[in-house]
Amino acid sequence: MAAGVTAAAQQTGGSGGAGVPDAPAPTAPAPMSGLKGQIAPGMGMPALPNPDAPQTPAQPPAAQQPAQQPAPQSSSTATMQSSGSGLDSVQKAPPELPPPGQGNQAVVTTLRSYTNFVVVPVTVKDNKGNLVAGLTFRNFQVYEDGQRQALRLFTVDPAPLSVAFVIDQSLTQDVMAKVNASLGAIQGAMTPYDEVAVFTYNNGAQEATGFTGAQSHRLEAVLALTKATGRDEGVPVNSGPLAGCSISANGNCSDPNLQVGRSAGGTQFMTIPKEIHTLNDAILMAASSLARRPPGRRRLIYVVSDGKEYGSKATTKEVIKYLQTNQIAVYATLVGDSARWGEGYLSRFHLPFQMNDNILLRYAQQTGGSLDSERSVNGIEKSYMHIAEEARTQYTLGYISHEPLIDGKYRTIEVRVDRPNVDVTAKPGYYPTAQYFR
């Protein structure tokens, strides 16, 4: 019927009769060629082709093939075109982006594959101190000894923590009481996947317990046993009837510990003994225990102290080098004098012939850690949670060093983020030794 109407319209228009001038001729609808043969009565619809299967493009007829194929793009042209996606002449290909939950396993696998693979945990905060989330590998640039390195691994998966708690027992009595009251909150900042060891120091370092589950009852009992009274905060007296050598026999002090040549200057005058704070030895003992933990765990030392140091056998420089060799970061909660406004800032400077009032800032800066200054029990408890969250939710960057040899020389690391008004915290360098790349 449609064909008859079409023919009639063509005849009418061609004879110049009563047809509409210049009107388009009606046409029949196009047949449903796309569905022809797909549905058969009684047989249903045949199976559709698998979209994931590789498709072989149909070759056009010889007459329709272009006379000249376009030349392939050069590497420089491809790099320029990919610069908008975060790739450039150094980062020629995107790094390995493990699926969620498999980032730490990818780190261990890459460490075993490359003997010069370097892992850099990075913390990014805004100008208010809040953690900045949502960054990708395109926002980071890593430089080793001033030369930019191509990222080979990028993950944001939280890492299980191996934490060595170092508790200062040489604090004054009032500050020690606050620390004792806050120790019960340590387990609340940990997860069942974490492990914790506890160390204490006063006149020498001691290991309270080796690594155990962060939620175990053993850790709870050990933390209760580490509570100490602290040292007397009274003013020392070195002469007069209230001095330590007020009772003498035959011109000598009755107490043999106060004899001449030790801490006494005679029967009438006593030399006040110096305070002992073996912080370096305590951190070194904790670091030697952390160095034996398996790869894939984030190693950190958490110190609760005022940062004073005197009497340690190990020097600060030696301990920092050991930390940088074994990928250990130092975090701390400053209490006591170092937590006071103004006085805590002055404690960072070392006066000649005096003890170090606060060396924890140097430890944190050289290992990629951070510090919190708290004076109340509530503040100390919150610092446990804050620092544990910061250490767990870091950006993990990995690259293969351009230096193929393990020469043992210090290599600097600089991490840049293309975001304004952010604070980037990462380790400033490392010592490439066989122990570091194990």
Location of structure tokens 């926002």: 139
Residue 15 tokens, joined: 């004879």
Which pLDDT value is given to residue 195?
Answer: 96
Q: Where are the domains of the chain?
A: 87-158+393-438, 161-231+277-392
Which pLDDT value is given to residue 83?
Answer: 42
Edge-first strand order for the sheet with 411-417 is 147-149, 140-144, 411-417, 429-430
Residues of the chain under the 70 pLDDT cut:
1-86, 108-115, 234-273, 435-438
Which pLDDT value is given to residue 79?
Answer: 38
Which pLDDT value is given to residue 244?
Answer: 57
The span from the CA of 197 to the CA of 319, in Å, is: 19
Global pTM?
A: 0.72
| Fold adopted by 161-231+277-392 | Rossmann fold (3.40.50)
Which pLDDT value is given to residue 348?
Answer: 81
pLDDT one-digit tens code per residue, 117-155: 899 999 999 999 899 999 999 999 999 999 999 999 999
With contact defined as beta carbons under 8 Å apart, do 173 and 113 qualify?
no
Residue 399 tokens, joined: 């690259």
Residue 436, burial from CB neighbour count under 10 angstroms (0-12, 13-18, 19+): middle
Edge-first strand order for the sheet with 151-155 is 151-155, 395-400, 117-126, 422-425
Which one, of 374, 354, 172, 203, lies nearest residue 276 by Cα? 203
pLDDT one-digit tens code per residue, 334-346: 998 888 887 777 8
The span from the CA of 373 to the CA of 305, in Å, is: 10
With contact defined as beta carbons under 8 Å apart, do 327 and 430 qualify?
yes
